[in-house]
Structure 1
């Protein structure tokens, strides 16, 4: 398949590298000259549980590519989605599908305007991706992908996509009611990402702290209450199981939001915790703990 990876950060490099290694034709689309140069000169190395795989890749800005793509997977930060998708409109035809595996809310709506709702796919992944250096990704065991169509129907393309992702070792499955896993991942990220950004703690340090665990539990409860107002009924047990799995197997991992804070970059807190707080306010449900953590995680670093 001819695939564009829009946003060649750590997660984009992990997915794009594995898709390239499994025989797909992957275009890495990014706006950062240093990232583009590094990928073109070094390729991508994926390291997992002591095993490494390497592949040369093609990277460039959106303007560097002209061929219509079959699939574009969006991995940009949520606050870049609108501009990023706009930059690749010349690569989208009437048969191109768009897929978002991003954190936060609102990204699929942006894709639906560009690709149409019928050709928009959304999903979640819990793979970790640590950027050792540009082109060298370290990932842990046990990751998975859950993906579905934005309109809620099962499309032939979705089944084909799941097969392609599985051939790339990305442990994918189709999910008809995709809003449930999206919100469960949202609860997971609202708790771990936001708290880690505020405290500077790794996933394992949060798991080892009773006060931190209490805050995590409060955020999960608040997120579930807001999700109920949107007609999405989450499984607290699945969210808790995902958190326990992260504490156990990704203890040394720094969340992406913590990495952004340490690099003095803008975080996605407003699109994760902030989005939950705003929906709660509209529905008359307060989320005071998450509101406080989001405010702190969004504060500029002097």
Structure 2
């Protein structure tokens, strides 16, 4: 498939590199000149527990590309989704498929404005990805991708097969809302708490008060999901949290790293989106709302 990776950060480069090794035709799309130069000049080197691999890469700003792409995967931060999709609108043909594997809620609704319901996919992945510098990625060999469509159809299975051939352990889910919301619950707890406290994932697990906050956020998120007729598995989310506490002791969440770097966070598309849906559904989310307000208070002002 002719694939565009829009948003060439750590996750975008991880997925793009895997697809290139599987023989797919991939172009990386980004607005950062440093990232574009690094990918074109040095390609991508991926290091996992199974060793190191390298691939050349092609990268360009959206304005320099033309022709329809078969698959366009969005990997930007949630607050950049609309601008990112608009920038590649000229690359969307009648058969193009859009896929969001971004954190949070609301991204698929933006994609469907450009790709239509039948050709919009959303999903989640638990593959980790760190990028010491553009073109240098560290990850793990174990992980999965779950994806599905806004409507029923074979397109989700087709894309899942392509990603699975690339070693991304991909599956088409019967109800993609469930894994997406379970990851939202996970992220709403860890990201907001870490951004406010400065604690790593392992420190949250070790600190009783922080762990209690995570449990309260999980309670609230599950209640909001239930109001949307989405039944989450508390046991599955708690197991994922426990594994993170045990095996990612020193890991800093993306929201904490953004705060430390004085960057805008994804609080609105993760915890903030849950709070907004709760308000509209009549479900109270006092703990998560307070955490989100504190994250907002710590963010740089637009003039900084």
TM-score normalised by the shorter chain: which range applies? over 0.9
Distance in 1 between residues matched to 2:99 and 2:85, nearest whole Å: 11
Distance in 2 between residues matched to 1:147 and 1:267, nearest whole Å: 24
User: What is the match of residue 13 of structure 1?
Assistant: 13
Shift of 1:141: 4.5
User: What is the match of residue 132 of structure 2?
Assistant: 132
How far does the alpha carbon of each residue in 1:3-59 deviate from its partner, in whole angstroms, 9 at most, with x for none? 100100111111111111211111100111111111111111111115111111011
User: Are 1:249 and 2:247 matched, yes or no?
Assistant: yes
User: Are 1:80 and 2:80 matched, yes or no?
Assistant: yes
Please say if residues 203 and 253 of structure 1, whose CA atoms lie closer than 8 Å, have aligned partners that are also in contact. Answer: yes
Does 130-139 or 69-78 show the bigger shift?
Answer: 130-139
Shift of 1:251: 2.5
Q: How does 1:85-234 map to 2 (within 5 A)?
A: 85-151=85-151, 153-155=152-154, 157-234=155-232
Q: How does 1:260-299 map to 2 (within 5 A)?
A: 260-299=258-297
Q: Provide the secondary structure at the position in 2 that maps to 1:38.
A: helix
The 3 A distance-change label for structure 1 pair 141 and 288 is: farther
Q: Provide the secondary structure at the position in 2 that maps to 1:95.
A: strand
Distance in 1 between residues matched to 2:141 and 2:220, nearest whole Å: 30
User: Are 1:57 and 2:47 matched, yes or no?
Assistant: no
Shift of 1:140: 2.8
Q: Provide the secondary structure at the position in 2 that maps to 1:170.
A: coil
Structure 2: segments with no counterpart, 5+ residues: none
Structure 1: segments with no counterpart, 5+ residues: none
Shift of 1:86: 0.5
How far does the alpha carbon of each residue in 1:81-105 deviate from its partner, in whole angstroms, 9 at most, with x for none? 1111011011110000000001111
Q: Provide the secondary structure at the position in 2 that maps to 1:123.
A: strand
Corresponding pairs, count:
300
Does 36-45 or 134-143 show the bigger shift?
Answer: 134-143
Distance in 1 between residues matched to 2:6 and 2:82, nearest whole Å: 12
Normalised by the size of structure 2, how large is the TM-score? 0.95
Q: Provide the secondary structure at the position in 2 that maps to 1:94.
A: strand
Shift of 1:169: 1.4
User: What is the match of residue 29 of structure 2?
Assistant: 29
Distance in 1 between residues matched to 2:186 and 2:53, nearest whole Å: 30
How far does the alpha carbon of each residue in 1:160-214 deviate from its partner, in whole angstroms, 9 at most, with x for none? 2212211211111110211111111110010011111111222122122222111
Shift of 1:74: 0.4
Please say if residues 187 and 219 of structure 1, whose CA atoms lie closer than 8 Å, have aligned partners that are also in contact. Answer: yes
Shift of 1:241: 1.1
Normalised by the size of structure 1, how large is the TM-score? 0.96
